[in-house]
Structure 1
C-alpha cells in the first residue's frame, strides 16, 4: 500500500505559511500538530517542511535511519556560514573523526576536573550580588556559562570580556530569529540586523584568535585534556583534517553552543523555582541537607536528585533547542507518510514536551514527575523527551551541561533565593535557541 500524503495549512501564494510561522513560531507549530496530526506538510517561502511530532517517528529519523538525514542549511547561509565545519554543522567522515577526537574532553574524569572551575566561577558571580539587588538573570547566566566553557573545555581565559562576548553572541543569534521574516533576507544585504550580525561575527573571530594564541603562547595552565589542546596537538602532529580554519570552526561552535543552552536552562530553572513555592522549598531543603554551608563537590552533585529533576523539568517546559531540523537525502516513509528527497523535517521539542498524551499536567512545573516512583517509562516513548537531541548526533556535552547546571544552582542557591521581578511569563523568542525577551529580572533575596 502506498504511503499516505500528509495534510497541512494552505498558506498564501509564494510565501506559503512563512508569514504565519513568523508571526508566532511556537503557536504555529502547536496549531499545526493539533489540526493536522503528527506529520504535517508546511509550505514556506523557499522550502518544503514537514512537522513531525510523533516520538516513534522522531526516533526513526534521528536514530534508526539517521544515515538518510543531514543537517540542513535553511536560509542559504544559516549556521553553516557562521560555524563552518564545526561539530554542530559538519557531516560524514569529518563529523565522525572530529567527534571521536573531541570526545575525551567530555569523559567523566575530565568533567570531574572541571568541577572546581564551575563552582569557583559561580561563587565569584554570587559574591558580586547583595540582598536587595535586581539582576538580569539571563544576562548573568550567559556570562557565567560563557566563562565556564572557555576556562574548561577551551582551556583559556576571557580576561573580563564576558559581557562583550555575550552581547556579540546575541547580535549573531538575532540573524536567525524565527519570528521575523526579515531573517529570510540574505546575510550580505546590509539591513540593520545583518550589520549587527557581521559586527558580532568579527568580534567573535577576534576572541577565537585570542583563545588559540593563549594556547600557542603557553599561557594556559590546565592539564591538557581540554578540547582545544586535543585539537592543537592533532594539528601539530600533522592530522590532515585539522588546520587553523577547522580549529576556528570548532572553537566558535563551542563558544556558541557550549554556553547558550545551559545559560537558558539556568534562567528558566530560576524562573520556575521562583514561581513555584513548594518546588523552591524542596530545592533549598535539599541543598541544606546535602551541601550545607560549603560549596558543592563532585560527590555532593551526584546526590542532588531533586536539583537534577528541576533541571530536567525546566528543559521539558522550556527546551533551549526548541526544534531539530533534518533534510532527507532520499525519499523515505515516516510513520506511514511519504517524505520526498530534499524535504526538511522539523521535530519540535516545544510541542512534544508538552503533549498531553505523554505528560500529565503538561504545562505544570512538576520536578517530582522525574522521581523513580513517579516515572512510568513503559507508557512514555523515549522520544517524548529529547532536549539534547538523539541518535549518533546526540549532544556531546549533555553530561557537562547537566553537571554545570547543578553546580551553578547549588552554589548560588545555598546563598540566595532569586525572586522573579516580572508580572507575566517571559516572552519567548525562537532564534538558534529559545531566548526570553525582554530580559528576565530577579530580585536577590536572603535565604
Structure 2
C-alpha cells in the first residue's frame, strides 16, 4: 500500500490546561468532524494535558491501527473504564496482551460462533413470540433485553434468573459513569478523588464482581449449566506454559465480553430498525431475500453467507451509526506515520464516525444505501474507510460474532414483523457508544409469510 505523507497542521486554539476539552466534551463528534473539515487529514490539538493528533485519511488510519501493537501504548481513558474492564485484553499491551489475546480469542472463533448461533435465533424467536400486531414498543429496550439474554446464555450458560435485573442495572450505571467521565474534567481527576458518580460506580462494580465471581466459583466447583459457554472456555484456557487465567483475569475478560457483546449489538440493531423504517425500498429487498433464502423457516448460521442484502444492511448501519466512535493510543518512541516521526507521548486518535461519514469515500454520506456494498457497486471504497471493529492486530476479537449475531437477529425478527411509525429524526447521545437520545417507539406490524 502506497504511503500517504503525513503533514500535521495545528487545530483550534485551546484554553490553558484544559486545551480543547470544553469543545470536545460538548459534542465530540461535531468537534472531530470540524477537525477534518476545517483543518485536514492530520490535525494537532490538545485534550487537557494530552498533546494529540487526529487522523482522518484511511491510509493513515490503516497504518496507525496496524502499528498499535508495537509502536503505541494503551491510552487510559478514565478511572471508570479501568474499574470496569480491569486488566483485560483491551487494556493490556506487549507480552501480557499477546498472552491474554491468545487465551481469549478461541472463545469467539468461528466454531464457537456456529455453536452459539442457535441460541441467538432461539432468543429472537422467543422475543418475536411475545410481540403482537399493533403493539407499540421501545425499540432500544427490546433490543437490549434480547441481546442481554443472548450474552447471558452464551457467556454464562443461563439467564441468571432473578440476578439478571440487578446485573443489568449495575452495567447500565457503569456505562453512564464511563460516558460522563470520558467527556469531562473527571477524565483527569486523580484516582483517590471520590465524586458521587465514582461512588455509584464502585457500588455497581461490587454488584458485578460479586455475581461474576459467584459464577466462576460455581464452575470451578463443577456446577455448570453448559460446558461450552464462553465462561467455560475462559476457565479452561491455558497458555503455552500451561498457565490458566486467574480468577481476576477471567472476571476482567468476562465483563469486557459482556459489555462488548451486549450494548454494541443492541445499539446497532436499534439503528438498523430506524433506518429500515425510513427506507421502504431497502426493506422490500430485505423481505424478498428472506422469503427467497429462508422460505419461512428460521435462519441458521449456514444461511449467513446467502443473506447478502441482510449483511449489507448491517454493514451500512454500522457505517452511519458505528456503536464505537473513537480509537485512541499513545505513541511510543519510534512511532512513524506517513513517513514522519510521531513524538513520543502523543495521543493519536481516529474516529469511525468521521471517516465513515466522509463524502470523499461515501457520496451523500448520511444516506442509508446498503447497495454501496453490492459486489458490482461502481464506487471503490478504500481500505479502512469502514472500520467499526477497529483493525490491525488489536482489532475486535468478537467482530465475527457481532456481525453474525446482528444479521441472524435481524433476519429472524424481520421475517415476522415490520417496525413502523418511528420518528424521522432521532437525536443521538454520545457515551461509550452512540445511542438514541430519546426512546425510539415503533408500531409492530405482523408480516405475512412467503
2:397 and 2:30 map into 1 onto residues whose CA distance is 30
Q: What's the CA shift for 1:246?
A: 0.9
The aligned counterpart of 1:432 is 432
In 2 relative to 1, CA 183–64 (structure 1 residues): closer, same or farther, beyond 3 Å?
closer
Matching residue within 48, 59, 64 for 2:62: 59
1:174-224, Cα deviation, whole Å (9 max, x unpaired): 1222684254355654444333322322222123123324423444343x4
The aligned counterpart of 1:128 is 130
Matching residue within 199, 220, 225 for 1:195: 199
Q: What's the CA shift for 1:239?
A: 4.4
Answer whether contact 1:355 1:362 (CA < 8 A) is retained.
Answer: yes
In 2 relative to 1, CA 5–270 (structure 1 residues): closer, same or farther, beyond 3 Å?
closer
- Say if 2:366 is the partner of 1:363: yes
Matching residue within 111, 115, 140 for 2:113: 111
Q: How does 1:89-168 map to 2 (within 5 A)?
A: 89-159=91-161, 161-168=163-170
Does the residue aligned with 1:70 lie in a helix, a strand or coil? strand
2:276 and 2:7 map into 1 onto residues whose CA distance is 45
Higher mean Cα deviation, 78-87 or 229-238? 229-238
Answer whether contact 2:8 2:43 (CA < 8 A) is retained.
Answer: no
- Say if 2:390 is the partner of 1:385: no
Q: How does 1:221-232 map to 2 (within 5 A)?
A: 221-222=225-226, 224-232=227-235
- Say if 2:413 is the partner of 1:412: yes
In 2 relative to 1, CA 191–149 (structure 1 residues): closer, same or farther, beyond 3 Å?
same
2:191 and 2:420 map into 1 onto residues whose CA distance is 39
In 2 relative to 1, CA 436–195 (structure 1 residues): closer, same or farther, beyond 3 Å?
farther
The aligned counterpart of 1:81 is 83
Answer whether contact 1:59 1:383 (CA < 8 A) is retained.
Answer: yes
- Say if 2:216 is the partner of 1:215: no
1:399 and 1:333 map into 2 onto residues whose CA distance is 30
Q: State the superposition RMSD in angstroms.
A: 2.4
Answer whether contact 1:353 1:384 (CA < 8 A) is retained.
Answer: yes
- Say if 2:272 is the partner of 1:298: no
1:233 and 1:34 map into 2 onto residues whose CA distance is 49
In 2 relative to 1, CA 164–288 (structure 1 residues): closer, same or farther, beyond 3 Å?
farther
The aligned counterpart of 1:169 is 171
Q: How does 1:198-347 map to 2 (within 5 A)?
A: 198-222=202-226, 224-234=227-237, 239-240=242-243, 242-335=245-338, 338-347=341-350
Answer whether contact 1:60 1:66 (CA < 8 A) is retained.
Answer: no
In 2 relative to 1, CA 375–143 (structure 1 residues): closer, same or farther, beyond 3 Å?
farther
The aligned counterpart of 1:351 is 354
- Say if 2:31 is the partner of 1:31: no
Q: What's the CA shift for 1:228?
A: 2.0
Answer whether contact 1:262 1:405 (CA < 8 A) is retained.
Answer: yes
Give the TM-score normalised by structure 1.
0.91
Answer whether contact 1:319 1:387 (CA < 8 A) is retained.
Answer: yes
Q: How does 1:397-408 map to 2 (within 5 A)?
A: 397-408=398-409
In 2 relative to 1, CA 395–404 (structure 1 residues): closer, same or farther, beyond 3 Å?
same
Higher mean Cα deviation, 23-32 or 176-185? 176-185
Q: What's the CA shift for 1:47?
A: 1.2
2:407 and 2:300 map into 1 onto residues whose CA distance is 11
Answer whether contact 1:274 1:419 (CA < 8 A) is retained.
Answer: yes
Q: What's the CA shift for 1:401?
A: 0.7
Answer whether contact 1:147 1:158 (CA < 8 A) is retained.
Answer: no
In 2 relative to 1, CA 68–438 (structure 1 residues): closer, same or farther, beyond 3 Å?
same
In 2 relative to 1, CA 214–367 (structure 1 residues): closer, same or farther, beyond 3 Å?
farther
In 2 relative to 1, CA 345–241 (structure 1 residues): closer, same or farther, beyond 3 Å?
farther
The total of aligned residue pairs comes to 441
Q: What's the CA shift for 1:241?
A: 5.9
